[in-house]
Structure 1
Amino acid sequence: MPNINEVITAINMIKNNLTRINLYFLEKRSSGGQPVFKSYTPLINTRLNAELGNACLDYLSTVLTGKEIVDFDPLCYAEDTVETINSVEIPCLTPMLEAMQAGSTQMLNFDQVSPSKTIGYCLTMTGDSGQSISIFKKYSYTKVLRGTKWNMYFHEGALTKFEDNVISIDERADAILFDGYIYVLNRYYFESFFSYTDCYHSVLESALDELENQDLIEGFELFKASCVDKNKIAKKFTKIMKENGLQTFLDNMERIPDIIDEYDLNITFRDNKLIYEDETNLPEILKLLSNDFVLAALDGRRYESLKKKPI
Structure 2
Amino acid sequence: MGQHLLSIDDLTNDEIEKIIHRAKYYEQYHPFIRPQFQNRFVANLFLEPSTRTRFSFEIAEKRLGAEVLQFQQSVSSIIKGESLLDTLRTLESQGVEAAVIRISEEGLLRKLSEKVSLKIINAGEGRIEHPTQALLDLYTIRKYFHTVKGLRIVIIGDISHSRVAHSNAALLKRLGAQLIFSGPDALMDDSLEGTILPIDEAIQNADVVMMLRIQFERQKMNYISSKESYRAEFGFTRERLKYLQPHAIILHPAPVNRGLEMDDEVVDHPQSKIFEQIHNGVWVRMAVIERALEGNLRWESLSNKEMYGIGISGFREIS
Task: Report TM bin, short chain.
Answer: under 0.3
User: Where is the helix percentage greater, Structure 1 or Structure 2?
Assistant: 2
TM-score, normalised relative to structure 2: 0.24
TM-score, normalised relative to structure 1: 0.25
User: Where is the strand percentage greater, Structure 1 or Structure 2?
Assistant: 1
